[in-house]
Amino acid sequence: MKTGSPPKRLMFSSFLLFFVILANQVGTGLSGFQRIIYQSAGHDAWISVCMAGAWSHLTVGVMLRTLKLNPNMDLYEVHKDLYGRYFGGIINTIVMLYMLTAVMVLSRNYVEMVQTWIFPDLPTWLLSAFLAMLIIYGVLGGIRIVVGIALMSVILTIWLIVFLYFPLRYAEWTHLTPIMEASISELVQGMLKMSLTIVGFEILMFVYPFIRNKEHAPLAAHLGLFTTTIIYVAVMVVTLVYFSPGQLSKTVWATFSLFKIVVFPFLERFEYVAICVWMLVVLPNLMMYMWAASKGIKRIFGWKQKYALYTFALILVVVSIFFKTRIQINTLNDIFSKVALYFVFGYPWVLYAAVLLKRHFQMKRGGI
């Protein structure tokens, strides 16, 4: 099946893919991923983060190879072309539900973050509704607006990395030794637990047709992945050398706990500022995933995207009310993390093999 390229007015330059990948990977997971990885890999958790980053590069390489064979198709169209209208439609529906679930997970985690640190009595539905309105406003503007928000998100929040200097003044570097004390299986377990935190680059399979100069897309995508990995490794190392093992194993929001020691003469609770700014970090994630989910309705059923957007936003607000306790939210995170592990890190390899196999049979048939 041949698909025409999107209108030029909807396309964006490949260098912006760097910001799309970076913004979509750095989300609520950065606020507290350290404890989860530490429970598996101990003080070698930073190695697990490096391993997860390396596997991400390999997976993106496979994604790009698949997309290069179908340059004007997104994942929904690739499925339809590969599996047929009906079976492809079923798989696309599953993908769409994954995207919608990602929005719910990110949104509910951020709401919990605000409730835990700033407004404990804030109704869940109120902040969820506020986020839903922002998502609708951004997605209705189209993919170029969403990509622009990703660009602004990175520019307006990257300065937060500077404040890692404050906990480094109290660093105990012996916490990192001896290196490679964790076994290979423990390191792999830590790498697998990074799935919820490091996912986000799968959005590449939805925005690829809208990239103007696709020959430069691999460089931008891998640079975005590399930058994200460096950020995660840096945050993990600072966390390991600042917290004692006993503290880290009990600290849910380790990153924001690091911000607690940042004090200025005119501002004592810097973490409040960080949490508010964090909304700019989360918004591109929410908008990208919601854009991809609502795009799925248009691809599968031919409905207008804006109607799907309104419906999904309402579902987001309603469903968020049912997750009230930390245990319920953790359960949601764990389930989504396992699904994301298979969908993001495993399925692209299967898809690439299926695409190559189909092309092989097509070429063989054409040769006959």
Does residue 79 contact residue 95 with C-beta atoms inside 8 Å? yes
Does residue 69 contact residue 355 with C-beta atoms inside 8 Å? yes
pLDDT at 366: 64
**Tell me, what amino acid is at 310?**
Y
12 phi and psi, to 5 degrees? Answer: -135, 160
Burial profile 348-366: b = 16 or more Cβ within 10 angstroms, e = fewer: beebbeebeeeeeeeeeee
Does residue 348 contact residue 63 with C-beta atoms inside 8 Å? yes
pLDDT at 358: 87
pLDDT at 143: 92
pLDDT at 1: 46
pLDDT at 4: 62
Q: Which residues of the chain have pLDDT under 50?
A: 1-2, 368
**Tell me, what amino acid is at 196?**
L
Does residue 300 contact residue 96 with C-beta atoms inside 8 Å? yes
Of the candidates 252, 194, 321, 243, the residue with the CA atom closest to the CA atom of residue 32: 252
Long-range Cβ pairs for the range 143-148 (8 Å, 24+) = 143/10, 143/12, 143/207, 143/210, 143/291, 144/9, 144/10, 144/12, 146/284, 146/287, 146/288, 146/291, 147/12, 147/16, 147/19, 147/20, 147/207
pLDDT at 101: 93
Six-digit token string for 368: 């006959």
CATH number 1.20.1740.10 given to 15-330: yes
pTM over 0.75: yes
User: Which whole-number Å values give the CA distances from 333 to 194, 265, 344, 366, in the listed order?
Assistant: 12, 38, 15, 48
> pLDDT for 114-129, tens place per residue?
888 888 888 999 999 9
Helix (H) / strand (E) containing 353? helix 347-367
Q: Alpha helix locations (H) across 141-253?
A: 143-157, 165-168, 184-192, 195-198, 204-207, 217-242, 245-248
pLDDT at 161: 86
The conformation of residue 28, written as its DSSP 8-state character, comes to G
Dihedral angle computed from the Cα positions of residues 242, 247, 249 and 252, in that order, rounded to the nearest 10 degrees? -90
> pLDDT for 271-313, tens place per residue?
788 888 888 889 999 999 999 999 988 888 888 888 999 999 9
Residue 128 CA neighbour count, 13 Å, CB half: 24
Q: Residue ranges of the domains in the chain?
A: 15-330
